[in-house]
Structure 1
Amino acid sequence: MTATSTQAPATQGIEPWSPRARPRPSSLVWALTATHFVSRAGGLARSFLVLYLTQERGLSPTTAGAVAAAVGVGDIGSQLLGGWLGDRIGRRHTMLVGFLGTAVALVALGSAETMAAICAAAVGVGLTAELFRPVGSAAVADLPAQERIRAFGLLFWAANLGFTVSAVAAGVLVRQGYGILFWVNSAASVLAALIVWRHVPETRPPTPTVTRRAVLPVLVRDPVMLAMAAIHVVYFTMFLQTFSTLPLVMAGDGYGPGTYGAVLALNGIVIVVVQPVAVRLLDGRDTASVLAVSMLLVGIGGGLGAVVQSGAGHAGSILVWTLGQIGVSVMFGAAFADLAPADLRGRYMGVASATWSVGAVLGPLLGTVLLDHAGRTALWVACSATGLALFAAQRAVAPALRRRSSAAADDARPTDAARPARTNRPGVPA
């Protein structure tokens, strides 16, 4: 039963609640899936932002990098702001603000003539483009616990399918000029807003104003949440070497951008094909164990970069870390959703999403410094060692995480009085 449904009459014959029940995705989940796909498939401009700024606007690489970094720093604020707004004005309204704000900011960025205007528009894109991520996760977290893993997995799959479409479409459309990328990206954001407006209901649990809490005092007294956030910051810092230092390593081996693009396309294809199967296989598995093994796989896959130099070797290493990436992504949202109090779900999911953004800032900085001063072998040995450390850290936090997950499942379980009686008719999903 979704968070927006009402209890069906007894004559409809709903099946009793079962912890092993596997309900079909609700209309809410399908609508969120559509917004994730559309927003990612239309997200053309950011991938070519540095090229646009240097080739069309004539900025230096350093200045263009600073503008791109401004967007990245804005992402961190966007995750936290999105979580806060989701708990204050609701999930649906925050998504609408984010998508419509992104459309305006992208048009402004593509039209800006002065450096001040470019920087202001870049900050605007950063602050609005990711507002939907924490509130979309909070909307899924509002669902019963037994539905979350499949729902989060579907969103992850749709986002990666959209990214694959975006990569192909951008390469074709950019031949018509960079301007078209901003307009298509903006139109995709408007389309995503329309999907939200027509098909996404509000799921925020009602909370009386007098009982609203600030998130910071709760967070500082929640060691499990703090530990999980710290683990994932380190994980994303390690994982994002695949998008920052890996292309430099492959260039050192004599491979051009086309080869790097091909091995990244392999990552997207594996996710699209394997991830739906992984959701079925991992549903019901111990969250902490899956996260631990998956982070170890990402570290091992990165570590293989120290010993491979052929294109096939790099492709093999990508297959290994992609399997780990899938495992983390399947469990990521559900793990943090189990930790979040009902009245703070948006802000907790905002903190969880911000771990990616922090890793996206730290990863390129730390990785390029290590590669430049110590070499590729030291970089990939560090990745393997980090994977082992993350495995140990996730295993250490596992008992506490299991207790919190069990408590969340107990909270979601209806009481005996609330469970509808079995009838002779087949069960009807709520």
Structure 2
Amino acid sequence: MTKLTWSLAATYFVGRAGGVVRSFLVLYLTQEKHLSPTSAGAVVAALGLGDIGSQLLGGWLGDRIGRRNTMLVGFVGAALALAALGSAESLPEIWAAAVGVGLTIELFRPAGSAAVADLPARQRIRAFGLLFWAANLGFSVATVTAGVLARYGYGLLFWINVAASLVAALLVWLLVPETRPAGPARTRQPLLPVLLRDRLMLAMLAIHVGYFTVFLQTFTTLPLLMTADGLGPSAYGAVLALNGIAIVVLQPVAVRLLAGRDGSTVSAVSMLLVGAGAALGAVSHGTAGFAVSVLIWTLGQIGIAVRFGDTFADLAPAELRGRYMGLASTTWSVGAVLGPLAGTALLDLGVLGPFCAVAGIALFAAARALAPALRRRTAAPDNDREGAVV
């Protein structure tokens, strides 16, 4: 594992471990700022829209000003935006600050992914796996500490998040080198003409939007399903904790087991597992049943994480790596918007379970259908990848 990878992992951990505001933002807005649930939801939605923009902006900046500079802009900008959100009083100010947080707080992700994509292909899988593991370990720390610290006031959470962003920026400044390929022509390559010709990339983006929609709806529908089953918040917290524990324990093992496997097969089976786990959760009863469903879709989540980054890195022309990785990250953000909307609607209609099962099978079939084209792209020289089609 390279020094770059460990430095990025430390940065990801600090950024996620100190990211304590987002999980408690609705409570802060409704309890301390006395906003209505609808207004608070609009603020969270504004942050989510900014998050979608940050993935695209982070990829573009990563190719234009460099991976390292983009991460610095993101972490410092997030610190300023979080401070503004924590001190905003009127609803327009809060909404504008939330957009600013969304636009900056995830800039580091596509830039960091592009930096790993710049590594030799044989190093990418383990590097992406370490970043995923570090980020989830940090998230687990954040969810535990935020609940304790919130007792002392939500303002403290904002300042902790600001401090964490600044510490992450310092780590980037001191430890993370620039990895962007040299040459002025590389920074001027337009994305859209290449992307529109790249039918394989477009198909992969569509499949992953579908996957993240199915996966991320679980975080909205699971508490509703468990509440309807008569289980309280403590049971939900315990079941959800299995997700983080399983990732921390199993992710390093999964990287070793899956690194040499065909990436298309790993992704296809993982999507099938997520669909099956989500479908099982929709018809489960009792804590044990919901826990099993979470463990099943967590296995799928781990499998996707192991091969997600290097798969899209293999698709990207060298001069467009930042923007391709930004587009890849955007599939998560779009799924985070579509998932709760689709999940709650399907739950109301009583068809959430069958939909998730069918979606898992369809995603499995689509991923397998693209496998030959992905293998051809991976085998092609980097210079031949621009404008490649299925």
TM-score greater than 0.5 by the shorter chain: yes
Residue identity matched to 1:393: A
DSSP 3-state at the match of 2:189: coil
What CA distance in whole angstroms lies between the structure 1 residues aligned with 2:99 and 2:233? 28
| Cα pair 1:302 1:317 within 8 Å, conserved | yes
Report the Cα distance in structure 2 between the residues aligned to 1:171 and 1:82, rounded to whole angstroms.
30
One-letter amino acid of the structure 1 residue matched with residue 179 of structure 2: T
**Root-mean-square deviation (Å):** 1.3
Distance 2:215 2:89 in 1: 36
Normalization by structure 2: what TM-score?
A: 0.97
**1:50-199 residue pairs with structure 2 within 5 A?**
50-199=26-175
Determine the C-alpha separation between the residues in 1 that align with 2:269 and 2:32: 45
* Cα distance change, pair 386–182 in 1 and its aligned pair in 2 (3 A): same
Distance 2:315 2:336 in 1: 24
1:230-279 Cα offsets, whole Å, 9 max, x none, are 00000000001221111111111111222111111111000000000000
**SS of structure 1 residue aligned to 2:162:** helix
Indicate whether 1:383 and 2:356 are aligned.
yes
1:407 shift after superposition: 2.3
Seq. identity, %: 72
Which residue of structure 2 aligns with residue 223 of structure 1?
199
Amino acid at match of 2:241: A
* Residues 340-351 of structure 1: pairs in structure 2 closer than 5 A: 340-351=316-327
| Matched-pair contact (CA < 8 Å) for 2:314–2:377 | yes
By how many angstroms is 1:306 displaced?
A: 3.5
Name the residue aligned to 1:405.
378
Q: Distance in 2 between matches of 1:210 and 1:325?
A: 34
User: Residues 325-364 of structure 1: matches in 2 within 5 Å?
Assistant: 325-364=301-340
Cα displacement (A) at 1:308: 1.6
From 271, 274, 293, the equivalent of 2:247 is 271
2:186 and 2:319 in contact (8 A); partners too: no
**Residues 368-396 of structure 1: CA distance to partner in whole angstroms, max 9, x if unpaired?**
11212x12xx1021011100000000000
Paired residue secondary structure (2:180):
coil
Equivalent-residue separation in structure 2 for 1:208 and 1:102 (angstroms): 29
Q: Indicate the structure (1 or 2) with the bigger Cα radius of gyration.
A: 1
Asked if residue 392 in structure 1 is aligned to residue 365 in structure 2, the reply is yes
Task: Please point out which of 278, 287, 290 is paired with 1:314.
Answer: 290
Residue type at the aligned position of 1:390: L
Choose between structure 1 and 2: higher helix proportion. Answer: 2
- Structure 2's unaligned 5+ residue stretches are 385-390
1:244 counterpart = 2:220:
yes
CA gap 1:51/1:393 in 2 versus in 1, 3 angstroms: same
* 1:160–1:172 Cα change, 3 Å: same
Letter in 2 for 1:188: A
**1:212 Cα deviation (Å)?**
2.3
Deviation (angstroms), 1:282: 0.5
Amino acid paired to 1:403: R
Q: Say if 1:408 and 1:191 are closer, same or farther in 2 by CA, change over 3 A.
A: farther
Deviation at 1:409, TM superposition (A): 8.3
The equivalent residue for 1:16 is none
Q: How has the CA–CA distance of structure 1 residues 210 and 174 changed in structure 2, closer, same or farther, with 3 Å as cutoff?
A: closer
Q: Structure 1 length normalisation: TM-score?
A: 0.88
Q: Match of 1:406, as an amino acid? A: A
Higher relative contact order, structure no. (Cα contacts within 8 Å, ≥ 6 residues apart): 1
Structure 1, unaligned runs of 5 or more:
1-24, 412-430
4+ aligned runs moved over 3 Å, structure 1: 408-411
SS in 2 for 1:362: helix
- Count how many residue pairs are aligned between Structure 1 and Structure 2: 384
Matching residue's letter, 2:209: V
CA contact (8 A) 1:141 1:345 kept: yes
Query: 1:270 & 1:410 partners in 2: Cα distance?
Result: 40
In the alignment, is the contact (CA less than 8 A) between 1:300 and 1:320 conserved in 2? Answer: yes
- Equivalent residues of 2:274, 2:301 under 8 A apart: yes
Aligned to 1:20: none
Determine helix, strand or coil for the equivalent of 2:19: coil
